[in-house]
C-alpha cells in the first residue's frame, strides 16, 4: 500500500473503531491532543504491560517506580532542563507561523517565505503554579520526561531494596512537552507516555551495558511482531551527542513518511547523579562493602515512547488481504498486544444461544479481555474482529446446544476448529502460549 494511503487508513481505523479520538472533538479538537478510546486504552495498556513484563517482572535487577508529575523546580534546575531543554524557534515574518528551525529548510512550510526571524531558544517545559498564589515562588513544571524521578529517588531505592549495581529503576507514565510543531498523528504530541529505565552500573562497565541494552531493546520490538527490516539501530555521530553522553543510539521504525525514533538508548555517564548530588548536597553514590570502594554509578537509559510505539505496532500490523474471495482489513497484532484476545459470537441473539454465550464469556473473562458481539451476520462480525486484531473468535451455534462444542476461528489463517466447551479455556490457553 502506498505510504500516504497506509497512514490515512490507520488514522481512519483508529477513529472509526475507537482506538484514538481527537481530544475535545465536540469543541473542534485541541491542539494535537488525543484521547484513547475503548480499544486504544487496551492496546496502549498491553504495550506498557509488555514493556513492564520484560523490563521489570522477568528480571531480578530492575525495580519499579511511579514518581510525581509535578515536582520541585530544583529538580529541573539541577538536571539542566530549565537552561537547556529547548528547541530553536523561528517565526515567519510573512504569515506569522512558528517553526522548529531544525525541522525546516530555511523556508516557511506554510507560505513558502524565506523571511524568517533568527532562531531563539524555546523551553519545552509546561509551566504552572502549585498552590493558590501565582507568583515566582510557586512556579512548578510538568515533567518533560520520567527519568528525573529515578535519579532523585536513587538513594531511597538503594536503601529500601538493597540492590547493588548493576541494577535499574523503571517507570511508565505521562510526560509533557510544549512541542513547537506536534504532528504525524500521535507520533509527536504535547502530552504523551514514556517507558523509561535508568540502569546504574559500575563506571568501568558502562560500554558493556550500553551494547547490552541496545540489543535487548531491538529484540523487544522484534519479539512483539515488528519485522526486522522495518527497524534499525542508528548510532549518533559524535557531534550529535549531548555533552553528557558517551554514546547514544536510537531504535528507529520505518514510518510511512520515513525513519522515526521509537526509543533513545543513552550512556549518560555519571552526569545526572553528580548534578543532583551537587545541587542537593546529598551523596548519591554506591558504597561497595566487599571492596570498600565508593563510586557514583554510570547510567544507561533506554527511553521509549509508549504512545509512539503503540502507533508503530498498529502501522506494522495493518494489512489487507483476501479471504474466500472477499477483501478484508486485518491487524496482525501480536496476541499479547491485541485489545481483545477473544470474541464470543453467538450465531443468533435469541435465547438459549445468548444464555450459553454469556456462560462461556463469564469463564473466559476471568483469563482474557473478551468482546461479545451479537449483531449482524457472522461473516461481518469476523471482519470486524479481524480489523481490530482479535486473535480468536469463538462462535456459538445451534449445534452447540446439542453437542456442547463451539467453533474457534483463527484471525491469521481463518482456520476453524470445533472444540468442546469444557476444553475451550485450555484450548485457548494453549493457543496463546504457542
Rounded CA-CA distance 213/211 in Å is: 6
Residue 217 interacts with ligand ATP (CB under 6 A): yes or no: no
Q: In the bound complex, what is the minimum distance in angstroms from residue 136's beta carbon to ligand ATP?
A: 27
Rounded CA-CA distance 94/113 in Å is: 7
Rounded CA-CA distance 197/261 in Å is: 17
# residues near ligand ATP by CB under 6 A: 16
List binders of ligand ATP among 103-142 (CB under 6 A).
none
Residue 272 interacts with ligand ATP (CB under 6 A): yes or no: no
List the Cα angle 391/345/406 in 5-degree steps.
85
Beta carbons within 8 Å of 126's beta carbon, 6+ residues apart: 141, 142, 144, 176, 177, 178, 190
Residue 395 interacts with ligand ATP (CB under 6 A): yes or no: no
Task: List the alpha helices (DSSP H) in 290-409.
Answer: 306-317, 353-365, 378-387, 398-403
Q: In the bound complex, what is the minimum distance in angstroms from residue 231's beta carbon to ligand ATP?
A: 13
Residue 177 interacts with ligand ATP (CB under 6 A): yes or no: yes
Residue 303 interacts with ligand ATP (CB under 6 A): yes or no: yes
- Whether omega before 372 lies within 30 degrees of 0, making that bond cis, reads no
Residue 148 interacts with ligand ATP (CB under 6 A): yes or no: no
Is the distance from CB of 146 to CB of 171 less than 8 angstroms?
Answer: yes
Instruction: Rule CB under 6 A: choose which of 307, 385, 395, 400 binds ligand ATP.
Output: 307
Q: In the bound complex, what is the minimum distance in angstroms from residue 160's beta carbon to ligand ATP?
A: 27
Q: In the bound complex, what is the minimum distance in angstroms from residue 166's beta carbon to ligand ATP?
A: 21
Residue nearest to ligand ATP (CB): 305
Site string for ligand ATP, 350-379 (x = CB under 6 A): ------------------------------
Q: Which residues pair with 254 in a beta bridge?
A: 259
Instruction: Rule CB under 6 A: choose which of 179, 252, 272, 334 binds ligand ATP.
Output: 179
Q: In the bound complex, what is the minimum distance in angstroms from residue 122's beta carbon to ligand ATP?
A: 13
Contacts 24+ apart (CB under 8 A), 372-379: 372/343, 372/344, 372/345, 373/343, 373/344, 373/345, 374/345, 374/346, 374/349, 375/349, 378/345, 378/347, 379/326
Instruction: Rule CB under 6 A: choose which of 36, 192, 220, 255 binds ligand ATP.
Output: 192
Residue 79 interacts with ligand ATP (CB under 6 A): yes or no: no
Rounded CA-CA distance 101/114 in Å is: 12
Instruction: Rule CB under 6 A: choose which of 81, 163, 268, 308 binds ligand ATP.
Output: 308
Residue 305 interacts with ligand ATP (CB under 6 A): yes or no: yes
Selected range binding ligand ATP among 202-210, 219-227, 259-267, 274-282, rule: CB under 6 A: 259-267
Instruction: Rule CB under 6 A: choose which of 62, 76, 169, 263 binds ligand ATP.
Output: 263
- CA distances to 4, 255, 256, 260, 316 from 7, rounded to whole Å, are 5, 9, 6, 14, 11
Residue 188 interacts with ligand ATP (CB under 6 A): yes or no: yes
Residue 194 interacts with ligand ATP (CB under 6 A): yes or no: yes
Beta carbons within 8 Å of 197's beta carbon, 6+ residues apart: 55, 62, 150, 168, 169, 170, 171, 301, 302, 303
Q: In the bound complex, what is the minimum distance in angstroms from residue 366's beta carbon to ligand ATP?
A: 34
Selected range binding ligand ATP among 277-285, 298-306, 386-394, 413-421, rule: CB under 6 A: 298-306
Q: In the bound complex, what is the minimum distance in angstroms from residue 322's beta carbon to ligand ATP?
A: 35
Q: Count helices and strands (H / E) in the chain.
A: 13, 24
DSSP character string of 386-416: HHTT-SEEEEE-HHHHHH-EEEEEETTT--E
| Cell of residue 139, nine digits | 512556579
Selected range binding ligand ATP among 189-197, 275-283, 318-326, 364-372, rule: CB under 6 A: 189-197
Rounded CA-CA distance 166/170 in Å is: 13
User: Helix, strand, coil proportions of the chain in percent (round to 5)?
Assistant: 35, 30, 35
Selected range binding ligand ATP among 96-104, 125-133, 257-265, 354-362, rule: CB under 6 A: 257-265
Residue 197 interacts with ligand ATP (CB under 6 A): yes or no: no
Residue 261 interacts with ligand ATP (CB under 6 A): yes or no: yes
14 or 303, CB closer to ligand ATP? 303
Return the DSSP state at 185.
T
Residue 400 interacts with ligand ATP (CB under 6 A): yes or no: no
How far, rounded to the nearest angstrom, does the alpha carbon of residue 266 sit from its chain's CA centroid?
18
Binding-site ranges for ligand ATP (CB under 6 A) = 145, 177, 179, 188-189, 192, 194, 261-264, 303-305, 307-308
Amino acid at each position: 500500500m502506498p505510504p500516504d494511503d497506509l497512514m490515512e487508513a490507520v488514522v481512519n481505523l483508529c477513529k472509526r473503531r475507537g482506538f484514538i479520538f481527537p481530544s475535545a472533538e465536540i469543541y473542534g479538537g485541541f491542539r494535537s491532543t488525543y484521547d484513547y478510546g475503548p480499544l486504544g486504552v487496551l492496546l496502549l495498556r498491553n504495550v506498557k504491560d509488555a514493556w513492564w513484563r520484560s523490563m521489570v517482572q522477568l528480571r531480578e535487577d530492575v525495580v519499579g517506580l511511579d514518581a510525581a508529575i509535578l515536582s520541585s523546580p530544583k529538580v529541573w534546575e539541577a538536571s539542566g532542563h530549565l537552561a537547556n531543554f529547548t528547541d530553536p524557534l523561528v517565526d515567519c515574518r510573512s504569515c506569522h507561523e512558528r517553526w522548529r528551525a531544525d525541522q525546516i529548510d530555511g523556508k516557511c512550510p506554510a507560505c513558502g517565505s524565506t523571511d524568517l526571524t533568527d532562531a531563539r531558544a524555546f523551553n519545552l517545559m509546561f509551566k504552572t503554579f502549585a498552590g493558590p498564589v501565582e507568583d515566582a515562588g510557586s512556579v512548578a513544571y510538568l515533567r518533560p520526561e520520567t527519568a528525573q524521578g529515578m535519579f532523585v529517588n536513587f538513594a531511597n531505592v538503594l536503601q529500601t531494596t538493597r540492590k547493588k549495581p548493576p541494577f535499574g529503576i523503571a517507570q511508565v507514565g505521562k510526560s509533557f512537552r510544549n512541542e513547537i510543531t506536534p504532528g504525524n498523528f500521535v507520533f509527536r504530541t504535547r502530552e504523551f507516555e514514556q517507558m523509561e529505565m535508568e540502569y546504574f552500573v559500575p563506571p568501568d562497565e558502562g560500554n558493556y551495558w550500553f551494547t547490552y541494552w541496545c540489543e535487548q531493546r531491538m529484540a523487544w520490538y522484534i519479539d512483539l511482531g515488528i519485522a526486522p527490516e522495518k527497524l534499525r539501530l542508528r548510532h549518533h555521530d559524535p557531534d550529535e551527542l549531548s555533552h553528557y553522553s558517551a554514546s547514544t543510539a536510537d531504535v528507529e521504525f520505518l514510518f510511512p513518511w520515513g525513519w522515526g525514533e521509537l526509543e533513545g538508548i543513552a550512556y549518560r555517564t555519571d552526569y545526572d547523579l553528580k548534578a543532583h548530588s551537587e545541587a542537593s548536597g546529598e551523596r548519591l553514590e554506591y558504597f561497595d562493602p566487599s571492596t570498600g570502594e565508593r563510586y557514583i554509578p554510570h547510567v544507561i537509559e533506554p527511553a521509549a515512547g509508549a504512545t509512539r510505539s503503540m502507533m508503530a505496532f498498529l502501522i506494522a500490523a495493518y494489512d489487507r488481504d483476501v479471504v474466500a474471495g472477499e477483501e478484508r482489513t486485518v491487524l496482525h497484532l501480536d496476541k499479547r498486544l491485541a485489545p481483545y484476545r477473544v470474541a464470543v459470537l453467538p450465531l443468533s441473539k435469541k435465547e438459549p444461544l445468548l444464555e450459553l454465550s454469556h456462560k462461556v464469556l463469564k469463564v473466559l473473562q476471568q483469563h482474557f479481555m473478551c468482546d461479545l458481539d451479537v449483531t449482524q451476520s457472522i461473516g461481518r462480525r469476523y471482519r470486524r474482529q479481524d480489523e481490530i486484531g482479535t486473535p480468536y473468535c469463538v462462535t456459538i451455534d445451534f449445534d452447540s446446544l446439542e453437542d456442547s462444542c463451539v467453533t474457534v476461528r483463527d484471525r491469521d489463517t481463518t482456520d476453524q476448529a470445533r472444540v468442546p466447551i469444557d476444553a475451550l479455556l485450555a484450548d485457548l490457553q494453549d493457543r496463546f502460549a504457542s
